[in-house]
Amino acid sequence: MPTPEEFRSRFPGLRDLTYLASCSQGALSDTLAAALLEYQRTLLQYGAPWERWTAEVDLARQHFADLIHASVDEIAVLPSVSAAAYQVASTRDWKSRSRIVSTDLEFPSVAHVWLAQRGNGAQVSYVEDRSGVVHAEDYQALINESCGLVSVPLNSYRNGVRLPVKEVIETARAAGALTFVDAYQGAGVEPIDVRELGCDFLAAGSLKYLLGIPGIAFLYAREGVLDDHEPPATGWFGRRNPFAFNPREIDYPANARRFESGTPAIPAAYGAVAGMRVLSELDQDTVRTHVGKLSQYAHDTLVADGERLGSPADAALRGPQVAMLDANPNELAGYLAGRGIVTSPRGELLRIALHYYSAVEDIDVLAAAIREYRRTGG
């Protein structure tokens, strides 16, 4: 397995940039750059090699299945996690079990999908965050036999906090509710085993810690989970045989591919394969340990400098991100970008996201620039 330094050498942009924005977009690897050129080459050489392209989509599906320890038949390829959430929500009957339990730490794009189901009879209840943290008992207080779906992020997009996913899933299962896990802010740097978690659905996209590009996401649908309704948003890739081309018949496969719709984003599939191929060289537990040490160093360094943080002080609750409170994080992010330091502002927080390619030196450069920003007033 490569060391962090060896892994970092695979990302040419890191020679010039201090890259701390993986929560928004993963850094460009040499493998990803080559994959995008390969897609271009197929266009130039073959014109429309659909067999090659669909094989790349299937390879992306297989890589994601391997990453989360699922069967390939349990993975649907979709354009976004929002689409994945909709496919789950649209197949439920909210009459008998009308409540969806979500949280204020849910990414809004997913939360909005749940809210949109109110027109179909759903009622949405929220677990409030306690100073940026959610505890298992907060979810447990809202989960009962009236719940049809419980939605819990692996890590929050807002401040990187880890949520008590396994405990929430166990409570939901005991109450007879299905569970949806948004793993976008963890897949690639947090070990994920869907068998161990016991969730019914899990979704993640390629562009962040999975080191791909926008346009593709994956939905894990546990084998054996039945839909109340067939997916209304469908298309030719949602058929048992997409190449039958029968406009008079709609047949849904029994596996997760029933959630697929139109033509996948082929360049994004090339990107997803490249990113997950690079990640497959790594042990995910080792990645989590490396990122955890760096996040602790970042936390301690910023606190010592007098900065106020919105991410947890407890290392066990802190995912691959440290979030810093600021009166104008967009202005601060712009100042840092002018010095080659890439971060990701959201709301009142400046998000500092770490990967296996991140190093202590990145945090030192960031901290020094923030000190200068404070000293000079920007």
Digit-coded pLDDT (tens) for 37-71? 999 999 999 999 999 999 999 999 999 999 999 99
Mean pLDDT of 269-297: 98
pLDDT at position 313, please? 95
- Asked if residue 103 lies in contact with residue 164, where contact means CB atoms within 8 angstroms, the answer is no
CA 90 to chain centre: 21
pLDDT at position 378, please? 72
- Asked if residue 206 lies in contact with residue 28, where contact means CB atoms within 8 angstroms, the answer is no
Cβ–Cβ contacts within 10 Å for residue 316, how many? 7
- Asked if residue 23 lies in contact with residue 378, where contact means CB atoms within 8 angstroms, the answer is no
What is the sign of the dihedral through the CA atoms of 5, 7, 8 and 10?
Answer: positive
In whole angstroms, what is the distance from residue 195 CA to residue 203 CA?
14
Report the percentage of the chain scoring pLDDT > 90.
98
CA atoms within 13 A on the CB side of 320: 34
Question: For 78-122, how does the pLDDT look when each residue is reduced to its tens digit (9 = 90+)?
Answer: 999 999 999 999 999 999 899 999 999 999 999 999 999 999 999
Question: For 144-174, how does the pLDDT look when each residue is reduced to its tens digit (9 = 90+)?
Answer: 999 999 999 999 999 999 999 999 999 999 9
- Put simply, whether the predicted model's pTM sits higher than 0.85 gets the answer yes
Question: For 289-337, how does the pLDDT look when each residue is reduced to its tens digit (9 = 90+)?
Answer: 999 999 999 999 999 999 999 999 999 999 999 999 999 999 999 999 9
pLDDT at position 206, please? 97
Domains and CATH numbers, the chain: 4-20+283-376 (3.90.1150.10), 33-279 (3.40.640.10)
Q: At what angle do helices 50-68 and 30-46 cross, to 10 degrees?
A: 160
pLDDT at position 373, please? 97
Q: Is 90 exceeded by the pLDDT of residue 127?
A: yes
Two tokens, residue 206:
């390629």
> Long-range contacts: 259-262, Cβ < 8 Å, 24+?
259/76, 259/78, 259/84, 259/87, 259/88, 259/219, 259/221, 259/231, 260/76, 260/77, 260/78, 260/234, 260/235, 261/78, 261/83, 261/233, 261/234, 261/235, 261/237, 262/235, 262/236, 262/237
